[in-house]
């Protein structure tokens, strides 16, 4: 018997009303397949979807889902299906899921799929339970099937940050697109730079991590390394064979 979604409530009455626009802050542009007039409009919608799910600092050509894009252009899937495909992609799993704990990952998914921040730790716990019991696919399906997602974005609109954020000096908050893709626990596992105890005369310090054989072996891209070694060995063998053949010909 599956565990039902835990109940959670908004933090205040302000969360029960529509988002508001702060003076001087522009309303985000809404991208939807309902009013596409040209092929360029579809290109902009697809890029908006990538920005929403991956954020601009993670938008690489190698992460693009060409098959999903072609299906969306042909009308075989909806914008909602396209968003679901991006979140279920190997790139999103590697960049976001693998580098976060369940609570942080749930927070990011709520931000990028529902267009708002989590209400409380109880909501994190509720969706983390779904992730733990139903897996990544179950969590994503549950989020995009919520009444909140369907009433705000439906099947045709790319999700966007619905609530406007006060300036940074007022609340210390940042737009979701500018938030790091991993939390402090993952960041703290990364190797720290080593500062030299002997400063360079210019005042600049060496900030190189000390060499460690075990760390080197763990981080090395052995697949690429062996491929390069194999290439150079093959090249050397061909060179030797060419030299032998040339000697026989001249002899």
Hey, how many other C-beta atoms are within 10 angstroms of the C-beta on 69?
18
List of long-range contacts for 22-28, beta carbons under 8 Å, 24+ apart = 22/164, 22/166, 22/167, 25/164, 27/164, 28/160, 28/161
Q: Please answer whether residues 100 and 48 qualify as being in contact, where contact means their C-beta atoms are separated by less than 8 angstroms.
A: no
Angle between helix 66-73 and helix 79-87 axes, rounded to 10 deg: 170
Q: What is the pLDDT of residues 206-238, one digit of tens each?
A: 444 566 777 767 777 777 878 888 888 998 898
- The confidence score (pLDDT) of residue 201 equals 47
- The confidence score (pLDDT) of residue 174 equals 55
Rounded to whole angstroms, the Cα distance separating 241 from 237 reads 6
What is the per-residue DSSP string for 114-171?
A: ISS--S-HHHHHHHHHHHHHHHHHHHHHHHHTSHHHHHHTTTTB-----S----HHHH
- The confidence score (pLDDT) of residue 11 equals 58
In the predicted model, what is the mean pLDDT of the chain? 77
138: Cα within 13 Å, side-chain hemisphere: 13
Homologous superfamily in CATH for domain 13-187? Phycobilisome linker domain (1.10.3130.20)
Rounded to whole angstroms, the Cα distance separating 190 from 235 reads 38
pTM assigned to the model: 0.63
Q: What is the pLDDT of residues 157-188, one digit of tens each?
A: 999 988 655 444 444 445 665 566 666 665 66
Residue appearing with tokens 């179950």: 138
Distances in Å between the alpha carbon of 167 and those of 23, 67, 173, 186? 11, 39, 7, 28
Q: Which ranges in the chain belong to alpha helices (H)? A: 39-54, 66-73, 79-87, 90-92, 102-109, 121-144, 147-152, 168-171, 184-187, 213-219, 222-250
Parts of the chain with a pLDDT under 50: 1, 13-14, 16-17, 20-24, 166-173, 196-198, 200-208
- The confidence score (pLDDT) of residue 13 equals 47
- The confidence score (pLDDT) of residue 246 equals 76
Hey, how many other C-beta atoms are within 10 angstroms of the C-beta on 223?
8
Q: What residue segments make up the domains of the chain, in order of their start?
A: 13-187, 215-250
- The confidence score (pLDDT) of residue 177 equals 57
- The confidence score (pLDDT) of residue 196 equals 47
């Amino acid at each position: 018997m599956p565990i039902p979604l835990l109940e959670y409530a908004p933090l205040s009455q302000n969360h029960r009303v529509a988002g508001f626009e702060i003076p001087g802050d522009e309303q985000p542009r809404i991208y939807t397949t309902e009013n596409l007039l040209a092929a360029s409009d579809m290109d902009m919608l697809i890029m908006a979807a990538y920005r929403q799910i991956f954020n601009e600092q993670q938008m690489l050509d190698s992460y693009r889902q060409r098959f999903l894009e072609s299906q969306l252009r042909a009308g075989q899937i909806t914008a909602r299906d396209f968003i679901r495909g991006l979140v279920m992609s190997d790139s999103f799993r590697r960049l976001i899921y693998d580098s976060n704990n369940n609570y942080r990952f749930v927070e990011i998914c709520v931000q990028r799929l529902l267009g708002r921040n989590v209400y409380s730790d109880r909501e994190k716990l509720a969706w983390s339970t779904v992730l733990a019991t139903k897996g990544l696919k179950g969590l994503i399906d549950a989020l995009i099937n919520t009444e909140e997602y369907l009433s705000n974005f439906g099947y045709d609109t790319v999700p966007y940050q619905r609530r406007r954020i006060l300036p940074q000096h007022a609340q210390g908050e940042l737009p979701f697109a500018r938030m790091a893709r991993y939390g402090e626990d993952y960041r703290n596992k990364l190797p720290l730079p080593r500062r030299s105890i002997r400063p360079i005369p210019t005042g600049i310090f060496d900030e190189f991590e000390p060499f460690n054989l075990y760390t080197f072996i763990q981080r090395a891209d052995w697949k690429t390394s062996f491929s390069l070694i194999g290439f150079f060995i093959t090249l050397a063998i061909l060179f030797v064979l060419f030299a032998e053949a040339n000697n026989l010909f001249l002899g």
